[in-house]
Amino acid sequence: MKIPGRSQSYSPSRRDVLRGGVLLAGGLAAAPVLGACGGSDDKGGGSKKVVVADWGGALVEAEKKYIFEPFSKETGIEVVVAGPPTPAKIKAMVETGNIEWDLIAGGPSTVLPIGRKYFEPLPDRLLNIPGIDPAYVDKNWLTYYLFSIVMAWNTSVVGAGKKMESWADFWDTEKFPGRRSLRGADNGVPPDMEFAVLADGVDMKAVYPIDVDRAFRSFDKLKSNVPQWWTSGAQPGQMLVSKQVGATSIFSGRIGALKKGGAPLEFTWNGGMFQLAAWSVVKDAPNKENAFKLMEFSVRPDIQASVWSKYPNGPSNAKALDLMDKEFAKTLPSHPQNVEVQFLQDSEWWGSNRDAVLKRFQEFAKS
Protein backbone atom coordinates (compact mmCIF):
# COMPACT_ATOMS: atom_id res chain seq x y z
CA MET A 1 0.00 0.00 0.00
CA LYS A 2 1.32 3.44 -0.91
CA ILE A 3 1.68 5.72 2.10
CA PRO A 4 0.77 9.30 1.18
CA GLY A 5 2.57 12.29 2.56
CA ARG A 6 6.00 10.78 2.96
CA SER A 7 8.78 13.18 2.02
CA GLN A 8 11.71 12.24 -0.18
CA SER A 9 14.06 12.61 2.78
CA TYR A 10 11.93 10.28 4.91
CA SER A 11 13.65 6.92 4.85
CA PRO A 12 13.03 4.97 8.05
CA SER A 13 14.32 1.45 8.23
CA ARG A 14 11.40 -0.69 7.06
CA ARG A 15 8.94 1.06 8.48
CA ASP A 16 5.32 6.32 13.42
CA VAL A 17 1.02 7.86 17.52
CA LEU A 18 1.11 10.43 19.12
CA ARG A 19 2.37 9.98 21.64
CA GLY A 20 2.77 6.33 22.03
CA GLY A 21 -0.58 5.22 23.28
CA VAL A 22 -2.59 8.15 21.93
CA LEU A 23 -2.85 10.54 24.78
CA LEU A 24 -4.73 8.11 26.94
CA ALA A 25 -5.05 9.45 30.41
CA GLY A 26 -3.29 8.01 33.37
CA GLY A 27 -1.78 4.70 34.26
CA LEU A 28 -3.15 1.69 36.07
CA ALA A 29 -3.30 1.69 39.82
CA ALA A 30 -2.64 -2.01 40.01
CA ALA A 31 -1.30 -4.72 37.77
CA PRO A 32 -4.10 -7.12 36.90
CA VAL A 33 -3.07 -10.65 36.07
CA LEU A 34 -4.72 -12.44 33.18
CA GLY A 35 -4.49 -16.09 32.27
CA ALA A 36 -2.74 -19.02 33.86
CA CYS A 37 -0.32 -18.57 36.74
CA GLY A 38 3.04 -20.06 37.31
CA GLY A 39 6.20 -20.70 35.39
CA SER A 40 9.82 -19.86 36.06
CA ASP A 41 11.50 -16.53 35.41
CA ASP A 42 14.18 -17.86 33.06
CA LYS A 43 15.92 -15.09 31.10
CA GLY A 44 14.37 -14.44 27.72
CA GLY A 45 11.19 -16.47 27.86
CA GLY A 46 11.28 -19.64 29.91
CA SER A 47 8.48 -18.33 32.11
CA LYS A 48 4.76 -18.52 31.48
CA LYS A 49 4.05 -14.81 31.81
CA VAL A 50 4.61 -11.49 30.06
CA VAL A 51 4.43 -8.04 31.63
CA VAL A 52 2.85 -5.38 29.40
CA ALA A 53 3.29 -1.68 30.17
CA ASP A 54 0.37 0.25 28.69
CA TRP A 55 -1.31 3.63 29.11
CA GLY A 56 -4.55 2.63 30.81
CA GLY A 57 -8.06 3.78 30.01
CA ALA A 58 -10.78 2.27 27.84
CA LEU A 59 -8.30 1.14 25.20
CA VAL A 60 -6.51 -1.17 27.62
CA GLU A 61 -9.83 -2.61 28.76
CA ALA A 62 -10.55 -3.52 25.14
CA GLU A 63 -7.07 -4.98 24.73
CA LYS A 64 -7.55 -7.12 27.83
CA LYS A 65 -10.82 -8.56 26.58
CA TYR A 66 -9.98 -9.09 22.93
CA ILE A 67 -6.19 -9.59 22.92
CA PHE A 68 -4.71 -10.49 26.30
CA GLU A 69 -7.35 -12.89 27.58
CA PRO A 70 -7.61 -14.86 24.30
CA PHE A 71 -3.80 -15.00 24.18
CA SER A 72 -3.63 -16.41 27.69
CA LYS A 73 -6.35 -18.94 26.90
CA GLU A 74 -4.57 -20.12 23.76
CA THR A 75 -1.00 -20.20 25.09
CA GLY A 76 -1.25 -20.57 28.86
CA ILE A 77 0.93 -17.46 29.24
CA GLU A 78 -0.38 -15.00 31.80
CA VAL A 79 -0.46 -11.30 30.89
CA VAL A 80 0.35 -8.85 33.67
CA VAL A 81 -0.70 -5.29 32.84
CA ALA A 82 1.42 -2.48 34.29
CA GLY A 83 2.47 1.01 33.31
CA PRO A 84 2.33 3.71 32.16
CA PRO A 85 5.46 3.12 30.04
CA THR A 86 7.16 6.44 30.68
CA PRO A 87 10.52 6.99 28.94
CA ALA A 88 12.31 7.85 32.19
CA LYS A 89 11.35 4.54 33.78
CA ILE A 90 12.29 2.53 30.69
CA LYS A 91 15.75 4.10 30.69
CA ALA A 92 16.19 3.59 34.43
CA MET A 93 15.19 -0.08 34.22
CA VAL A 94 17.65 -0.86 31.46
CA GLU A 95 20.50 1.13 32.97
CA THR A 96 20.12 -0.51 36.38
CA GLY A 97 19.34 -3.98 35.03
CA ASN A 98 16.12 -4.08 37.06
CA ILE A 99 13.75 -4.89 34.21
CA GLU A 100 10.12 -4.91 35.37
CA TRP A 101 8.43 -4.78 31.95
CA ASP A 102 8.71 -6.94 28.88
CA LEU A 103 6.42 -5.37 26.29
CA ILE A 104 5.57 -1.68 26.06
CA ALA A 105 2.93 0.21 24.11
CA GLY A 106 4.65 3.04 22.34
CA GLY A 107 6.54 2.39 19.15
CA PRO A 108 8.47 5.06 17.25
CA SER A 109 7.32 7.97 19.38
CA THR A 110 8.83 6.21 22.40
CA VAL A 111 11.79 4.38 20.88
CA LEU A 112 13.34 7.20 18.86
CA PRO A 113 13.54 9.88 21.57
CA ILE A 114 14.93 7.38 24.10
CA GLY A 115 17.25 5.52 21.76
CA ARG A 116 17.20 2.10 20.15
CA LYS A 117 19.75 0.69 22.57
CA TYR A 118 16.99 0.46 25.19
CA PHE A 119 14.96 -1.98 23.09
CA GLU A 120 15.31 -5.48 21.68
CA PRO A 121 15.53 -6.11 17.94
CA LEU A 122 12.55 -8.04 16.63
CA PRO A 123 12.96 -11.60 15.31
CA ASP A 124 12.78 -12.00 11.55
CA ARG A 125 9.32 -13.59 11.67
CA LEU A 126 7.85 -10.29 12.91
CA LEU A 127 9.42 -8.19 10.16
CA ASN A 128 7.47 -9.68 7.26
CA ILE A 129 3.91 -10.46 8.31
CA PRO A 130 1.37 -10.87 5.49
CA GLY A 131 -1.11 -7.99 5.46
CA ILE A 132 1.11 -5.54 7.34
CA ASP A 133 2.65 -2.76 5.27
CA PRO A 134 6.46 -2.54 5.62
CA ALA A 135 5.97 1.10 6.60
CA TYR A 136 4.42 -0.14 9.83
CA VAL A 137 7.37 -2.30 10.84
CA ASP A 138 10.82 -1.49 12.17
CA LYS A 139 13.56 -3.54 13.76
CA ASN A 140 12.43 -2.19 17.15
CA TRP A 141 8.64 -1.99 16.82
CA LEU A 142 5.61 -3.65 15.28
CA THR A 143 2.48 -1.58 14.71
CA TYR A 144 -0.72 -3.17 15.98
CA TYR A 145 -3.11 -0.32 15.27
CA LEU A 146 -3.31 3.10 13.64
CA PHE A 147 -5.01 6.23 14.88
CA SER A 148 -5.63 9.58 13.25
CA ILE A 149 -5.92 13.21 14.17
CA VAL A 150 -8.46 14.97 11.93
CA MET A 151 -10.33 18.25 11.79
CA ALA A 152 -13.86 18.34 13.19
CA TRP A 153 -16.42 21.08 13.61
CA ASN A 154 -19.71 21.91 15.28
CA THR A 155 -22.22 22.58 12.50
CA SER A 156 -24.35 24.83 14.70
CA VAL A 157 -21.33 27.12 15.19
CA VAL A 158 -19.65 27.21 11.77
CA GLY A 159 -22.98 27.13 9.90
CA ALA A 160 -25.38 24.43 8.78
CA GLY A 161 -24.40 22.85 5.51
CA LYS A 162 -20.85 24.18 5.62
CA LYS A 163 -18.08 21.64 5.26
CA MET A 164 -14.39 22.16 5.83
CA GLU A 165 -12.31 20.48 3.13
CA SER A 166 -8.80 21.55 4.12
CA TRP A 167 -6.71 23.06 6.89
CA ALA A 168 -6.87 26.35 4.96
CA ASP A 169 -10.62 26.22 5.59
CA PHE A 170 -9.94 25.52 9.27
CA TRP A 171 -7.81 28.69 9.46
CA ASP A 172 -10.53 30.72 7.71
CA THR A 173 -12.62 32.01 10.61
CA GLU A 174 -14.59 34.41 8.40
CA LYS A 175 -15.98 31.75 6.09
CA PHE A 176 -16.26 29.22 8.95
CA PRO A 177 -17.08 31.16 12.14
CA GLY A 178 -16.10 30.11 15.62
CA ARG A 179 -12.99 29.81 17.72
CA ARG A 180 -10.45 27.05 17.22
CA SER A 181 -8.32 24.60 19.14
CA LEU A 182 -5.29 22.53 18.18
CA ARG A 183 -3.03 20.21 20.08
CA GLY A 184 -0.52 21.95 22.31
CA ALA A 185 2.81 20.79 23.70
CA ASP A 186 2.57 19.00 27.01
CA ASN A 187 4.27 15.93 28.52
CA GLY A 188 6.41 15.55 25.42
CA VAL A 189 3.46 15.43 23.02
CA PRO A 190 4.16 17.38 19.82
CA PRO A 191 1.87 20.25 18.78
CA ASP A 192 -0.01 20.23 15.46
CA MET A 193 2.85 21.71 13.43
CA GLU A 194 1.90 19.71 10.36
CA PHE A 195 -1.57 21.25 10.14
CA ALA A 196 -0.10 24.73 10.45
CA VAL A 197 2.04 24.33 7.33
CA LEU A 198 -0.77 22.60 5.42
CA ALA A 199 -2.98 25.60 6.18
CA ASP A 200 -0.24 27.84 4.77
CA GLY A 201 -0.23 26.03 1.44
CA VAL A 202 2.31 23.25 1.82
CA ASP A 203 1.39 20.13 -0.16
CA MET A 204 0.51 17.10 1.96
CA LYS A 205 3.31 15.12 0.33
CA ALA A 206 5.87 17.78 1.26
CA VAL A 207 5.07 18.31 4.94
CA TYR A 208 8.43 16.91 6.06
CA PRO A 209 10.88 18.21 6.92
CA ILE A 210 8.60 20.74 8.62
CA ASP A 211 9.47 24.39 7.99
CA VAL A 212 9.30 25.35 11.67
CA ASP A 213 9.39 29.10 11.11
CA ARG A 214 6.58 28.84 8.56
CA ALA A 215 4.52 26.76 10.98
CA PHE A 216 4.84 29.34 13.75
CA ARG A 217 3.93 32.17 11.37
CA SER A 218 0.81 30.18 10.49
CA PHE A 219 0.01 29.54 14.17
CA ASP A 220 0.38 33.26 14.83
CA LYS A 221 -2.42 34.03 12.34
CA LEU A 222 -4.81 31.78 14.28
CA LYS A 223 -3.62 32.35 17.82
CA SER A 224 -6.13 35.09 18.72
CA ASN A 225 -8.94 32.63 17.95
CA VAL A 226 -7.54 29.84 20.15
CA PRO A 227 -8.89 29.99 23.72
CA GLN A 228 -7.02 26.82 24.67
CA TRP A 229 -4.50 24.43 23.12
CA TRP A 230 -5.68 20.93 23.99
CA THR A 231 -3.38 18.45 25.74
CA SER A 232 -5.62 15.48 26.58
CA GLY A 233 -7.72 13.34 24.28
CA ALA A 234 -11.04 14.30 25.88
CA GLN A 235 -10.58 18.08 25.67
CA PRO A 236 -11.30 18.78 21.98
CA GLY A 237 -14.58 16.88 22.03
CA GLN A 238 -15.67 18.65 25.18
CA MET A 239 -14.86 22.04 23.68
CA LEU A 240 -16.78 21.21 20.50
CA VAL A 241 -19.89 19.97 22.26
CA SER A 242 -19.93 22.95 24.65
CA LYS A 243 -19.39 25.32 21.67
CA GLN A 244 -16.30 26.76 23.32
CA VAL A 245 -14.79 26.27 19.88
CA GLY A 246 -16.37 25.81 16.48
CA ALA A 247 -13.62 23.56 15.13
CA THR A 248 -10.64 21.63 16.44
CA SER A 249 -8.19 18.87 15.67
CA ILE A 250 -9.28 15.67 17.38
CA PHE A 251 -8.65 11.93 17.49
CA SER A 252 -10.91 10.33 14.91
CA GLY A 253 -11.97 7.59 17.30
CA ARG A 254 -13.78 10.10 19.51
CA ILE A 255 -15.97 11.62 16.81
CA GLY A 256 -18.30 8.65 16.30
CA ALA A 257 -19.22 8.40 19.98
CA LEU A 258 -19.91 12.11 20.21
CA LYS A 259 -22.11 12.08 17.11
CA LYS A 260 -24.02 9.07 18.43
CA GLY A 261 -24.69 11.11 21.54
CA GLY A 262 -26.53 13.63 19.39
CA ALA A 263 -23.89 16.34 19.11
CA PRO A 264 -24.09 18.27 15.79
CA LEU A 265 -20.53 17.42 14.76
CA GLU A 266 -18.87 16.59 11.45
CA PHE A 267 -15.31 15.80 10.42
CA THR A 268 -13.22 14.99 7.39
CA TRP A 269 -10.37 12.58 6.76
CA ASN A 270 -8.88 15.08 4.29
CA GLY A 271 -5.50 16.23 5.55
CA GLY A 272 -5.67 13.95 8.57
CA MET A 273 -2.47 12.68 10.15
CA PHE A 274 -2.33 9.00 10.95
CA GLN A 275 0.11 7.61 13.45
CA LEU A 276 1.38 4.21 14.44
CA ALA A 277 0.73 2.63 17.81
CA ALA A 278 3.21 -0.18 18.19
CA TRP A 279 4.68 -2.73 20.54
CA SER A 280 8.34 -2.69 21.52
CA VAL A 281 10.28 -5.04 23.77
CA VAL A 282 12.49 -3.63 26.51
CA LYS A 283 16.17 -4.50 26.25
CA ASP A 284 17.02 -7.65 28.24
CA ALA A 285 13.36 -8.20 29.12
CA PRO A 286 13.12 -11.37 31.23
CA ASN A 287 10.20 -12.71 29.19
CA LYS A 288 11.09 -11.35 25.79
CA GLU A 289 10.15 -14.50 23.87
CA ASN A 290 6.68 -14.39 25.36
CA ALA A 291 6.52 -10.71 24.46
CA PHE A 292 7.32 -11.56 20.84
CA LYS A 293 4.57 -14.20 20.90
CA LEU A 294 2.04 -11.68 22.19
CA MET A 295 3.07 -9.15 19.54
CA GLU A 296 2.56 -11.75 16.82
CA PHE A 297 -0.79 -12.82 18.26
CA SER A 298 -2.06 -9.22 18.44
CA VAL A 299 -1.66 -8.67 14.69
CA ARG A 300 -3.38 -11.83 13.53
CA PRO A 301 -6.25 -10.84 11.23
CA ASP A 302 -8.91 -12.52 13.38
CA ILE A 303 -7.65 -10.88 16.58
CA GLN A 304 -7.33 -7.49 14.89
CA ALA A 305 -10.85 -7.74 13.50
CA SER A 306 -12.17 -8.65 16.95
CA VAL A 307 -10.60 -5.83 18.96
CA TRP A 308 -10.86 -3.01 16.40
CA SER A 309 -14.48 -3.80 15.67
CA LYS A 310 -15.12 -2.91 19.31
CA TYR A 311 -12.72 0.02 19.68
CA PRO A 312 -12.50 2.37 16.68
CA ASN A 313 -8.81 2.32 15.85
CA GLY A 314 -7.52 1.05 12.54
CA PRO A 315 -6.07 -2.46 12.29
CA SER A 316 -2.48 -2.53 11.10
CA ASN A 317 -3.11 -5.83 9.32
CA ALA A 318 -5.11 -5.05 6.18
CA LYS A 319 -6.44 -8.61 6.10
CA ALA A 320 -8.48 -7.79 9.21
CA LEU A 321 -10.62 -5.33 7.24
CA ASP A 322 -11.97 -8.24 5.16
CA LEU A 323 -13.25 -9.89 8.34
CA MET A 324 -15.11 -6.81 9.57
CA ASP A 325 -18.46 -5.30 8.68
CA LYS A 326 -17.73 -3.49 5.41
CA GLU A 327 -19.51 -0.25 6.30
CA PHE A 328 -17.92 -0.12 9.73
CA ALA A 329 -14.49 -0.77 8.21
CA LYS A 330 -14.90 2.37 6.13
CA THR A 331 -15.05 4.41 9.34
CA LEU A 332 -11.59 3.33 10.47
CA PRO A 333 -8.41 5.37 9.89
CA SER A 334 -6.55 2.51 8.18
CA HIS A 335 -9.22 1.79 5.58
CA PRO A 336 -7.56 2.34 2.16
CA GLN A 337 -9.92 5.13 1.11
CA ASN A 338 -9.12 7.04 4.31
CA VAL A 339 -5.39 6.39 4.21
CA GLU A 340 -5.22 7.86 0.70
CA VAL A 341 -6.28 11.34 1.86
CA GLN A 342 -4.10 11.39 4.97
CA PHE A 343 -0.37 11.43 5.67
CA LEU A 344 1.81 9.45 8.02
CA GLN A 345 3.45 11.30 10.88
CA ASP A 346 7.23 11.28 10.45
CA SER A 347 8.54 10.09 13.79
CA GLU A 348 12.12 10.21 12.53
CA TRP A 349 11.76 13.98 12.09
CA TRP A 350 10.11 14.38 15.47
CA GLY A 351 12.78 12.23 17.09
CA SER A 352 15.38 14.76 15.96
CA ASN A 353 13.41 17.97 16.52
CA ARG A 354 10.99 17.30 19.36
CA ASP A 355 12.78 19.06 22.23
CA ALA A 356 13.52 22.26 20.31
CA VAL A 357 9.98 22.50 18.90
CA LEU A 358 8.31 21.81 22.25
CA LYS A 359 10.37 24.49 23.96
CA ARG A 360 9.58 27.03 21.25
CA PHE A 361 5.87 26.19 21.23
CA GLN A 362 5.57 26.50 25.00
CA GLU A 363 7.13 29.95 24.83
CA PHE A 364 4.86 30.86 21.90
CA ALA A 365 1.71 29.74 23.71
CA LYS A 366 2.57 31.81 26.78
CA SER A 367 3.38 34.99 24.87
Is the pLDDT confidence value at 66 over 70?
A: yes
- Asked if pLDDT for residue 11 goes beyond 50, the answer is no
**pLDDT tens track for 246-305:** 999 999 988 878 888 899 999 999 999 999 999 999 999 999 999 999 999 999 999 999
Other residues' Cβ atoms within 10 Å of the Cβ of residue 260:
8
Q: What is the pLDDT of residue 46?
A: 59
CATH topology of domain 33-146+275-327: D-Maltodextrin-Binding Protein; domain 2 (3.40.190)
The helix (H) or strand (E) run that includes residue 269 is strand 265-281
Q: Which residues of 306-344 are buried (b: 16+ CB within 10 A; e: fewer)?
A: bbbbeebbbbbbbbbbebbeeeebebbbbbeebbeebbb
For 166-197, b/e burial (b = at least 16 CB within 10 A) is bbebbbebeebebbbbbbbbbeebbbbbbbbb
State the pLDDT confidence band at 7, using cuts at 50, 70 and 90: very low
- Other CB atoms within a 10 A radius of the CB of residue 228 amount to 17
Give the pLDDT band (50/70/90) at residue 38.
Answer: very low
pLDDT of residue 24: 32
Q: How confident is the model at residue 178 (pLDDT cuts 50, 70, 90)?
A: very high
Average pLDDT over residues 4-24: 34
Asked if the model's pLDDT at residue 25 lies above 80, the reply is: no
Domains of the chain, by residue range, sit at 33-146+275-327, 149-274+351-366
- Asked if residue 319 has pLDDT above 70, the reply is yes
**Residue scoring higher pLDDT (301 or 59):** 301
pLDDT beyond 80 at 342: yes
Average pLDDT, the chain: 88
Contacts with 329 (C-beta within 8 Å, 6 or more apart), sequence order: 321, 335
Phi, psi angle pair for 272, to nearest 5°:
-70, 155
Q: What is the mean pLDDT of residues 80-97?
A: 95
Q: Has residue 19 got a pLDDT over 80? A: no
Query: Whole-angstrom Cα distance, residue 292 to residue 237?
Result: 36
- The residue ranking higher by pLDDT, 232 or 39, is 232
Span 111-166, pLDDT tens digits = 998 899 999 999 999 999 999 999 999 999 999 999 999 999 999 999 989 999 99
Answer whether residue 95 shows pLDDT above 60.
Answer: yes
Any alpha helices (H) in the chain, and if so which ranges? Answer: 57-63, 69-75, 87-96, 108-114, 155-158, 167-171, 193-199, 212-222, 235-241, 252-260, 288-298, 301-308, 326-329, 336-339, 347-366
Q: What is the pLDDT of residues 195-217, one digit of tens each?
A: 999 999 999 999 999 999 999 99
149-274+351-366 is classed CATH 3.40.1010.10: no
Helix (H) or strand (E) holding 275: strand 265-281
Q: Is the pLDDT of residue 8 over 60?
A: no
* Segment 307-317 mean pLDDT: 94
Instruction: Please state, in angstroms and rounded to a whole number, the distance separating the CA atoms of residues 316 and 206.
Output: 24
Higher pLDDT pick, 320 / 351 = 320
Identity of the amino acid at 353: N
Which pLDDT belongs to residue 15?
32
Q: pLDDT tier at 44 (50, 70, 90 boundaries)? A: low
CB 314 within 8 A of CB 244: no
Question: Cα separation of 269 and 166, whole Å?
Answer: 9
Mean pLDDT of 311-317: 94
pTM, two decimal places: 0.82
CATH fold match for the domains 33-146+275-327 and 149-274+351-366 = yes
Q: 188 versus 303: which is more confidently predicted?
A: 303
Angle between helix 212-222 and 347-366 (nearest 10): 40
Segment 343-364 shows an average pLDDT of 93
* 12, pLDDT greater than 60: no
The per-residue pLDDT for 104 is 97
Those residues whose C-beta lies under 8 Å from the C-beta of residue 88, and which sit 6 or more positions away, are: none
Predicted confidence at residue 351, as pLDDT, reads 86
